[in-house]
Copies of this chain bind each other. A is one copy, B any other.
């Protein structure tokens, strides 16, 4: 099924290029693959085009496709191919490369349009290729390398039916409205500064509050089962990563530092090696095992500027990281305890349904991994047993393991149906080997320990991006940075409103008082746009109640615009308290 859709989309990419070449014949074509949810094609235009040109191209595509009966395959010799693309250095580069790899060179033709292509098309373009849409234009380096020319990439999508296309377009329209890159600053959750740099978010009071609430939630779940917080610096001598294997593996992505004395340091890209050094500070008796260390801390990766995107891809990643150092006999119990934390955490943050993936090593590329095949086989079957024991459905994904061990990945589904890999449990017998970590067992012997990697959110930045889009900024009460806005209907109710506001604060509610000079309707609109769960409106009726029986009353309006009528403040606060305690969504 996916293959059919991929063929459809790849065919649409041909059609896009055909239209472009008719409209701007001097254009140079590069490549045009199918991708998740669509396709793209990269071009070198003689003069730049813009998004306003997309409808013109689309129209031309519809025109051309009527004459496309099929995709006809031709095999060319290297010389023929080089001749056919003599004016196109991109194609020439591909031809040289394919020839070197011993691949046959093929072009595919439909209508008047020919293109160098390995194949993978639909059979009847004029009939099948109807429901497409061009979406956007972006710059993209040839072959993804900043050393090469910047090309113009046109993105589009295509579906077998009109209905599917429509649904997809509505979904991306909705996703755009929820885009955390727009909503985040609008709700004043984070900001970026040109002086600080790309990929380095600055967290405002409201954003920091949510981050900390999430992190405290994780910590509460961990604390009760015996985790301890530890603290580590953000840099280390190169030596630590030479021992761990990260230096060899991730050299390119490390921020490297040469000190004034000429020593080589790196900013940490992960925390496990630091935690090993805390574990290894002294001998541990079997009685003290497991040792469970948690640190919420930033790690750093030297990502390329072009790959940075809002909070989804950043240079500083806050991890709610934890590592359990335990005996072989304790692995399953510890791993299942982490599993419980994960389920509880995602339930409390609005993702009650997780799905599961067992990420295995790729036996054909064993050189990418640390350790022996035997260690891997054991660790993988251990995880498989746990999945079976829990009785959950899961998929196995070859080649998705970490380089030091297999893992169970937990995948959430957001309100738009998009899937996100969130938490992960990794069993690691390689780091303990490399760092020579052991405990003293009942016989007084050194016994190799196992390390379990157990981040719950993984990256708080990325989780925040998912959360913002999942709720479209309308966070559940317990996470809302402002829970209640107290709004007087006019200045003469400012004092009473202040009284209500302070009563709410006294109860630990995050209340804001709005005594600005705006009109009531402007106030209501603004707080609603800020997605504040409840508005307490204070006016004559509430004033009267206060004067007659001394009770504080408030009229409640929700962010969805629902009028809940006038209730005693104490009753309202009680309702809030319960919803917060229960982490109601």
Contacts and interface: CB of A to CB of B under 8 A. Distances in A.
Contact of A278 (B202, B237, B300, B316): B202
A278 B235 contact: no
Given A236-B197, A237-B195, A287-B516, A231 B256 contact: no
Residue among A196, A260, A316 with max Cβ neighbours from chain B (10 Å): A196
Given A194-B239, A200-B235, A229-B205, A260 B265 contact: no
Interface string A491-523: 000000000000000000000000010000000
Contacts of A287: 516
Contacts of A191: 277-278, 281-282
A235 B316 contact: yes
B261 A304 contact: yes
A529 to B, nearest CB: 15
A257 B261 contact: no
| Size bin of chain A's contact surface | 35 or more
A194 B212 CA distance: 33
A146 interface: yes
- 4 closest pairs, A vs B, by CB? A205-B228, A203-B231, A193-B277, A191-B281
B255 A232 contact: no
Interface string A162-195: 0000000000000000000000010010010111
Interface in A263-281: 263, 265, 267, 273-274, 277-278, 280-281
A124 to B, nearest CB: 47
A280 B204 CA distance: 11
Nearest to A273: B195
Contacts of A204: 230, 278, 281
Nearest to A236: B196
Interface in A292-324: 293, 298, 300, 302, 304-305, 315-316, 318
B228 A196 contact: no
Given A205-B228, A302-B260, A277 B234 contact: no
Interface string A111-127: 00000000000000000
The A interface is mostly helix, strand or loop, or mixed, namely: mixed
A211 interface: yes
Contact of A236 (B195, B234, B265, B277): B195
A236 B197 CA distance: 6
A232 B203 contact: yes
A188 B282 contact: yes
Contacts of A235: 197, 200, 255, 267, 300, 315-316
B202 A274 contact: yes
A208 B287 CA distance: 22
B316 A233 contact: yes
Interface string A65-94: 000000000000000000000000000000
Interface string A315-348: 1101000000000000000000000000000000
A202 B267 contact: no
B240 A196 contact: yes
Given A202-B277, A257-B257, 20 more contacts: A193-B280, A195-B236, A195-B240, A195-B243, A196-B233, A196-B236, A197-B237, A197-B239, A197-B265, A200-B235, A202-B232, A205-B293, A208-B228, A208-B229, A208-B231, A233-B298, A233-B316, A252-B260, A260-B302, A287-B516
29 contacts: A188-B281, A191-B282, A194-B239, A195-B243, A195-B273, A195-B277, A196-B274, A197-B236, A201-B233, A202-B231, A202-B274, A202-B278, A203-B231, A204-B281, A205-B230, A205-B293, A208-B228, A208-B229, A208-B231, A233-B315, A234-B267, A234-B300, A234-B316, A235-B315, A235-B316, A255-B257, A256-B257, A257-B257, A257-B267
A191 to B, nearest CB: 4
A52 interface: no
A209 interface: yes
A495 B62 CA distance: 82
A255 B261 contact: no
A196 B233 CA distance: 9
Contacts of A185: 281
Nearest to A460: B231
A309 B298 CA distance: 26
A200 B516 contact: no
A274 B208 CA distance: 14
